[in-house]
């Protein structure tokens, strides 16, 4: 399917806005790319291999290197002791006593953490010697799950901090509390976003050198920026920034954020070179990369909305727990704050409360990853919007529409401070519905469902932030801490244009691309401004911090190229043009505005005067004496550009976290294979408004690439850790990147609302689908599975086994003639289980006792209860669905309350029959008053299960019944306390349970 592009057709533009084949491609297609491992190294260069920890958490007692040093070709070994002598820990983004060194110095905190570096005459020999380095460990308990890592009894990674929670911040905007109190409805959803990475095909490569004469390091690495990290590296190496010359290769084999994480190795290989007195080269292998390079931050979010019956949301609460792994590596906790200003998404929601916690676990440290914070936020927000729609029984699209930021409201200041620069979200929605064929997609769903197939449609809207504000990272600090540290803000981009004596034009940009086509677009912009053919312009994207113009925001991240860097290129080209115009105007004695540039010539608009570009430009070198007064000669201009809108966070904690905010509207239809649980994307429609498109072909390329990665994140990819912290996704046969067979062609739509804040009106577009697509697919899967699945159980990746488990095995319909009479009180001959437990309830024994006798309460207490019908004195007939493992059975059950001794004890018994087997059970419940009008409820129960359902095995049955019975009493607790405290709690519970808990 070809995309439909509304080309920015302005006849005045020769190149900008046009589909333009890339200047990069010819060399890459011929195999002449120059990637980091292709570059020549100096004679005598040695090769490194890294000894890594096999343990997730351990004290490093001793590192013995003698045997390894004696191995053939080994020239030296760098250990923690060397690192302590020559280097410092990396600076950390929060004020906590935690140290991260480039090599472990005392403890290891994740599987794959570097412990020593073997340096040998070739890579094979270095790897041979790895096993000969003997490391003695004292193994410690691990903290893997982010929630349990916050508990008091969790194993602590950084002892000096005293807790695994290293940062805990609360934010409040507007009047969220009263909005929640006054709301007709509230709804809460807890979701978990997993770990994955947009892992590139080229791994890390570093070549380090040390110059003892200057006391400086010279390192080539396929680093991607941001160059704020240069300061982190220089400080770790204990040198001024001008003694760390960092260079990048001409080509880089993808990054998507991940190659930001090469920086500890830049330091490590600089030190390795110092250790052996020779250049040291390191090429990472895939196992090292997957296990130890970098990862997206996994997050546990509890999100809550206050909303009216028409679906209008008045307030949101986010509780975000971010798992940054074993170390808080710069720029983390940026994942948490990148989206902060625009947490309310594309919606006009004025009241907002946020709690952000950063937790350390024994996993690989996190870092930049395409989408950076966006997938996590939208997964919570857009799943919640879908739940609101289901709860109110209103079309999800209608819920979205009613909450969008109004078209006339731009620029729109969000509750948390983002200034949405431009957009027309309503029009985007209409365009997407119409041009993407939503009506047909709905028909396809109807047809599929009529045929008994599992088909669902999911929707997502998102704003895609780009050109991040360097100041957002300081949101992890309190306003007081920020005041003390001094303001941080802005995002400086740079471009340099040089015109040589023969009049040919060279451009340098410090954007460090990894395949995005920056050279092409920069040439388009310069060609446009100076009226030159594209092929005559040469663009250099290597960055050498020792020679080139750069700043902390240099590099390739936060989709900043089109808006910021291309804008700086434009500004530099305007400077060159301005100088040339002045020279021509003086030579021809015409007004400056009459001078025009086109087709390689500089001329007057009336055509009376004309000269070639190279002749006039060359004069700045060959004949400076002929130039106007004030003209310095030579022709080279560097433009620095930073937007005024990117101010530092204010004392009310508002932050415009990015400069530009594009708009995305996605929807998709998915079908689930009922046999295997495989999710198949039937159609995916994605509409983008990224402002003005500089090269629509490259825009589509970004959309397609992000979409494919998002399909991976939604359905296949995850970094899996075992309970002991061992890593289980170390090869590309375990970590499943989608292939041609899994990635459908998305239907791409565009609209253009230029940004008023960037020089060319362009916004970023590189990360949108990484943010919108995972949740869009999840919403479609939720729609396909329907209300039998707990909303919070829709977790990524939605692999066939996970989806199949969610679907369960539905029992076949009851054969005719077999009726209710066949329900007997005894099952006999099955598995027998008994146990006791207790629960505390914030109400008096009498209140609790009375509640149980109420049919409504009883119905709400029983999980999966479809209906409850009174058949006698405290006797009921119930229709209940119970799941054990994958088996889901619908029971026709009798429930009875007997031996009533108010308010001290009663007996709850039941017997049920289903196609999957039968069950009987009874519990004796005792009510004891404890302090302050609370009740402890003790219960002993006995359950007998027979038939197919018993075949799942005793252990599973035991844990399933324990869970089920636990659920019954915790639901009772919620019922009783909810009724007592506030009516809306009951509504909330009903909302949580979908329509199962009530008759809404």
Partner 1 sequence: MYVRVDERHRVALTLNGRERSGYAEPRTQLCDFLRHQLGATGTHVGCEHGVCGACTVMVDGRATRSCLMLAVQVEGRRVETVESLSDEDELSDLQRAFREHHALQCGFCTAGILMSCHEFLGRVLEPNEAQVRDMLSGHLCRCTGYTGIVQAVLDVARARQNNRQETP
| Least distance between partner 1 and beta carbon 683 (Å) | 14
Residue 624 DSSP label: G
Q: Which one, 40 or 213, has the nearer CB to partner 1?
A: 40
| Least distance between partner 1 and beta carbon 203 (Å) | 8
Among 14, 28, 94, 98, binds partner 1 (CB under 8 A): 28
**String marking each residue 103-132 x if it binds partner 1 according to CB under 8 A:** ---------------------x--------
Q: Is 707 in the site for partner 1 (CB under 8 A)?
A: yes
Contact 519, 23 (CB under 8 A): yes
With tokens 């199962």, the residue in question is 996
- Chain centroid to Cα 374, Å, comes to 5
Q: Is 746 in the site for partner 1 (CB under 8 A)?
A: yes
CA distances from 819 to 888, 894, 956 (A): 20, 13, 30
Q: How many residues sit in the footprint of partner 1 (CB under 8 A)?
A: 51
Q: Is 251 in the site for partner 1 (CB under 8 A)?
A: yes
Q: How many CB atoms lie within 10 A of CB 449?
A: 14
Q: Is 709 in the site for partner 1 (CB under 8 A)?
A: yes
Among 740, 816, 955, 999, binds partner 1 (CB under 8 A): 740
Among 113, 202, 717, 811, binds partner 1 (CB under 8 A): 202
| Least distance between partner 1 and beta carbon 438 (Å) | 22
Euclidean distance between CA atoms 875 and 908, whole angstroms: 10
Q: In which region does residue 215 sit, left (phi positive, over 0), alpha (psi from -120 to 50) or beta (all else)?
A: left
| Least distance between partner 1 and beta carbon 953 (Å) | 36
Residue 691 DSSP label: B
Question: Token pair for residue 236?
Answer: 């770790």
Q: Is 535 in the site for partner 1 (CB under 8 A)?
A: no
Among 303, 397, 708, 884, binds partner 1 (CB under 8 A): 708
Q: Which one, 90 or 256, has the nearer CB to partner 1?
A: 256
User: Interacting stretch for partner 1, rule CB under 8 A, among 699-707, 810-818, 912-920, 942-950?
Assistant: 699-707
Q: In which region does residue 828 sit, left (phi positive, over 0), alpha (psi from -120 to 50) or beta (all else)?
A: left
Q: Which one, 490 or 555, has the nearer CB to partner 1?
A: 555
Q: Which one, 281 or 351, has the nearer CB to partner 1?
A: 281
Among 24, 319, 323, 421, binds partner 1 (CB under 8 A): 24
Q: Which one, 657 or 709, has the nearer CB to partner 1?
A: 709
Euclidean distance between CA atoms 255 and 557, whole angstroms: 10
Q: Is 451 in the site for partner 1 (CB under 8 A)?
A: no
Question: Token pair for residue 599?
Answer: 């087709």
| Least distance between partner 1 and beta carbon 870 (Å) | 58
| Least distance between partner 1 and beta carbon 249 (Å) | 12
Residues 494-523 that bind partner 1 (CB under 8 A): 514-517
Of 294, 289, 258, 301, the closest CA to residue 146 belongs to: 301
Q: Which one, 260 or 496, has the nearer CB to partner 1?
A: 260
| Least distance between partner 1 and beta carbon 514 (Å) | 5
| Least distance between partner 1 and beta carbon 3 (Å) | 9
Q: Is 26 in the site for partner 1 (CB under 8 A)?
A: yes
> E strand or H helix at 123, and its extent?
helix 123-128
Question: Token pair for residue 737?
Answer: 């990147």
Q: Is 768 in the site for partner 1 (CB under 8 A)?
A: no
Residues of 130-139 as b/e, b for ≥16 C-beta within 10 angstroms? bebbebebee
Q: Which one, 22 or 888, has the nearer CB to partner 1?
A: 22
| Least distance between partner 1 and beta carbon 373 (Å) | 20
Are β-strands 107-108 and 58-64 bridged in parallel, bridged antiparallel, or unpaired? antiparallel
For the CA atoms of 551, 556, 560, 564, what is the dihedral angle to 10 degrees?
40
DSSP readout, 461-480?
Answer: EEEEEEEE-GGGGGGGS-HH
Q: Which one, 731 or 836, has the nearer CB to partner 1?
A: 731
Among 304, 424, 689, 700, binds partner 1 (CB under 8 A): 700
Helices H / strands E in the chain, number of each: 25, 36
User: Interacting stretch for partner 1, rule CB under 8 A, among 112-120, 534-542, 636-644, 693-701?
Assistant: 693-701
CB within 8 Å of 531: residues ≥ 6 apart? 14, 596, 597, 598, 599, 600, 601, 602, 613
User: Interacting stretch for partner 1, rule CB under 8 A, among 26-34, 226-234, 545-553, 670-678?
Assistant: 26-34
CA distances from 257 to 222, 467, 575, 762 (A): 12, 14, 32, 21
Among 745, 840, 869, 901, binds partner 1 (CB under 8 A): 745
Euclidean distance between CA atoms 429 and 722, whole angstroms: 43
**String marking each residue 456-495 x if it binds partner 1 according to CB under 8 A:** ----------------------------------------
Q: Which one, 698 or 949, has the nearer CB to partner 1?
A: 698
Q: Is 922 in the site for partner 1 (CB under 8 A)?
A: no
Among 8, 256, 641, 727, binds partner 1 (CB under 8 A): 256
Of 906, 941, 561, the closest CA to residue 758 belongs to: 561
Q: Is 291 in the site for partner 1 (CB under 8 A)?
A: no
Euclidean distance between CA atoms 390 and 399, whole angstroms: 10
Among 22, 55, 275, 654, binds partner 1 (CB under 8 A): 22
Q: Is 288 in the site for partner 1 (CB under 8 A)?
A: no
Of 198, 317, 309, the closest CA to residue 259 belongs to: 198
For the CA atoms of 653, 656, 658, 660, what is the dihedral angle to 10 degrees?
160
| Least distance between partner 1 and beta carbon 442 (Å) | 25
Euclidean distance between CA atoms 306 and 351, whole angstroms: 9
Contact 16, 524 (CB under 8 A): yes
Output helix, strand, coil percentages for the chain, rounded to the nearest 5: 35, 30, 40
| Least distance between partner 1 and beta carbon 736 (Å) | 10
State yes or no: cis peptide before 226, omega within 30 of 0: yes
Q: Which one, 254 or 998, has the nearer CB to partner 1?
A: 254
Q: Which one, 53 or 252, has the nearer CB to partner 1?
A: 252
| Least distance between partner 1 and beta carbon 127 (Å) | 11
Among 324, 565, 743, 968, binds partner 1 (CB under 8 A): 743
Cross-strand partners of 660: 466
Euclidean distance between CA atoms 899 and 916, whole angstroms: 31
Cross-strand partners of 207: 220, 281
End-to-end Cα, the chain, rounded Å: 42
Among 9, 12, 30, 160, binds partner 1 (CB under 8 A): 30
User: Interacting stretch for partner 1, rule CB under 8 A, among 22-30, 577-585, 839-847, 980-988?
Assistant: 22-30
Binding site for partner 1 (CB under 8 A): 21-22, 24-26, 28-33, 35, 37-38, 124, 198-203, 251-254, 256, 285-286, 514-517, 697-698, 700-701, 704-705, 707-709, 731-733, 737, 739-741, 743, 745-746
């Amino acid at each position: 399917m070809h995309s439909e592009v509304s080309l920015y057709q302005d006849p005045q533009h020769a190149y900008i806005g046009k589909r333009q084949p890339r200047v990069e491609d010819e060399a890459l297609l011929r195999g002449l790319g120059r990637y980091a491992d292709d570059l020549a190294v100096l004679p005598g260069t040695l090769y490194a291999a890294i000894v890594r920890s096999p343990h997730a958490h351990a004290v490093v007692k001793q590192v013995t290197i003698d045997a390894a040093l004696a191995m053939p070709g080994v020239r030296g070994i760098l250990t923690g002791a060397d690192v302590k002598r020559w280097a410092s820990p990396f600076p950390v983004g929060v004020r906590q006593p935690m140290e991260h060194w480039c090599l472990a110095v005392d403890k290891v905190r994740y599987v794959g953490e570097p412990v020593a570096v073997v340096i040998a005459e070739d890579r094979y020999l270095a790897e041979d010697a790895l096993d000969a380095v003997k490391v003695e460990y004292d193994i410690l308990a691990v903290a893997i799950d982010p929630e349990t890592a916050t508990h008091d009894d969790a194993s602590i990674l950084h002892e000096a901090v005293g807790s695994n929670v290293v940062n805990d911040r609360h934010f409040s905007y507007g009047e969220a509390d009263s909005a929640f109190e006054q709301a007709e409805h509230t709804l809460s959803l807890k979701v978990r976003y997993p770990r994955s990475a947009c892992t590139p095909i080229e791994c890390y490569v570093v070549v380090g050198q040390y110059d003892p004469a200057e006391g400086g390091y010279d390192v080539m690495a396929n680093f991607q920026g941001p160059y704020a990290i240069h300061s982190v590296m220089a400080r770790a190496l204990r040198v001024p920034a001008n003694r760390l010359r960092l260079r990048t290769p001409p080509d880089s084999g993808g990054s998507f954020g991940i190659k930001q994480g090469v920086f500890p190795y830049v330091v490590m290989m600089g030190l390795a070179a110092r250790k052996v007195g020779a250049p040291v080269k390191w090429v990472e292998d895939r196992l090292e990369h997957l296990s130890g390079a970098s990862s997206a931050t996994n997050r546990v979010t509890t999100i809550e909305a206050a909303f009216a019956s028409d679906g209008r949301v008045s307030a949101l609460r986010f509780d975000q727990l971010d798992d940054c792994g074993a170390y808080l590596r710069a720029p983390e906790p940026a994942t948490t704050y990148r989206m902060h200003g625009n947490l309310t998404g594309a919606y006009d929601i004025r009241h907002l409360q946020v709690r952000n916690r950063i937790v350390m676990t024994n996993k690989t440290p996190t870092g930049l990853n395409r989408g950076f914070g966006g997938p996590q936020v939208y997964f919570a927000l857009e799943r919640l919007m879908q739940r609101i729609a289901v709860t109110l029984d209103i079309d999800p699209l209608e819920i979205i529409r009613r909450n969008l930021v109004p078209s006339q409201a731009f620029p729109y200041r969000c509750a948390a401070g983002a200034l949405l620069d431009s957009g027309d979200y309503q029009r985007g929605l209409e365009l997407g519905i119409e041009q993407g064929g939503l009506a047909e997609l709905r028909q396809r769903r109807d047809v599929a469902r009529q045929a008994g197939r599992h088909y669902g449609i999911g929707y997502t809207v998102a704003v895609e932030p780009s050109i991040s504000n360097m100041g957002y990272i300081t949101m992890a600090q309190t306003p007081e801490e920020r005041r003390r540290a001094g303001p941080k803000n802005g995002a400086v981009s740079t471009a340099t244009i040089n015109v040589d004596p023969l009049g040919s034009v060279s451009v340098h940009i410090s954007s460090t691309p990894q395949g995005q086509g920056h050279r092409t677009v920069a040439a388009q912009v310069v060609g446009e401004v100076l009226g030159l053919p594209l092929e005559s312009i040469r663009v250099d994207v290597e960055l050498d911090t020792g020679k080139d113009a750069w700043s902390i925001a240099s590099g390739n991240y936060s989709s900043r190229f089109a808006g910021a860097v291309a804008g700086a290129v434009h500004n530099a080209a305007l400077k060159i043009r301005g100088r040339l115009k002045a020279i021509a105007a003086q030579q021809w004695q015409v007004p400056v505005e009459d001078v025009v540039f086109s087709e390689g010539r500089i001329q007057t608009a009336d055509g009376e005067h004309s000269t070639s570009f190279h002749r006039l430009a060359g004069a700045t070198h060959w004949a400076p004496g002929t130039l106007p007064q004030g003209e310095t000669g030579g022709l080279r201009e560097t433009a620095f550009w930073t937007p005024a809108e990117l101010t530092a966070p204010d004392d009310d904690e508002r932050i415009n976290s990015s400069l530009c905010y594009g708009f995305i509207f996605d929807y998709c239809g998915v079908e689930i294979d009922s046999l295997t649980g495989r999710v198949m994307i039937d159609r995916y429609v994605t509409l983008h408004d990224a402002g003005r498109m500089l090269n629509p072909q490259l825009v589509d390329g970004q959309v397609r690439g992000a979409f494919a990665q998002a399909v991976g994140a939604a359905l296949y990819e995850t970094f899996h850790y075992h309970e002991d912290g061992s890593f289980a996704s170390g090869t590309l046969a375990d970590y499943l990147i989608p292939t041609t067979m899994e990635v459908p062609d998305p239907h791409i739509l565009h609209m253009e609302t230029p940004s008023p804040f960037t020089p060319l009106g362009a916004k970023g577009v590189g990360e949108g689908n990484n943010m919108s697509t995972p949740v869009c697919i999840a919403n479609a899967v939720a729609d396909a599975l329907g209300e039998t699945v707990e909303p919070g159980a829709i977790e990524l990746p939605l692999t066939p086994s996970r989806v199949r488990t969610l679907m369960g095995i539905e029992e076949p319909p009851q054969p005719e003639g077999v009726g209710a009479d066949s329900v007997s009180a005894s099952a006999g001959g099955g598995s027998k289980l008994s146990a006791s437990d207790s629960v505390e309830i914030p109400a008096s024994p009498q209140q609790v006792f009375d509640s149980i006798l109420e049919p409504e309460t009883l119905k709400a207490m029983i999980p999966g209860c479809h209906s409850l019908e009174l058949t006698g004195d405290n006797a009921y007939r119930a229709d209940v669905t119970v799941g054990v493992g994958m088996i889901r059975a619908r029971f026709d059950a009798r429930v009875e309350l007997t031996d009533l001794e108010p308010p001290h004890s009663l007996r709850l018994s039941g017997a049920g029959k289903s196609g999957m087997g039968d069950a009987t059970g009874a519990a004796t419940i005792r009510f004891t008053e404890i302090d302050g009008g609370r009740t402890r409820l003790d219960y002993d129960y006995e359950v007998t299960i027979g038939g197919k359902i018993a075949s799942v095995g005793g252990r599973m049955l035991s844990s399933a019944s324990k869970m089920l019975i636990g659920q019954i009493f915790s639901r009772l607790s919620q019922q009783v306390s909810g009724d007592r405290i506030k009516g809306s709690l009951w509504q909330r519970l009903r909302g949580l349970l979908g329509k199962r808990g009530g008759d809404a």
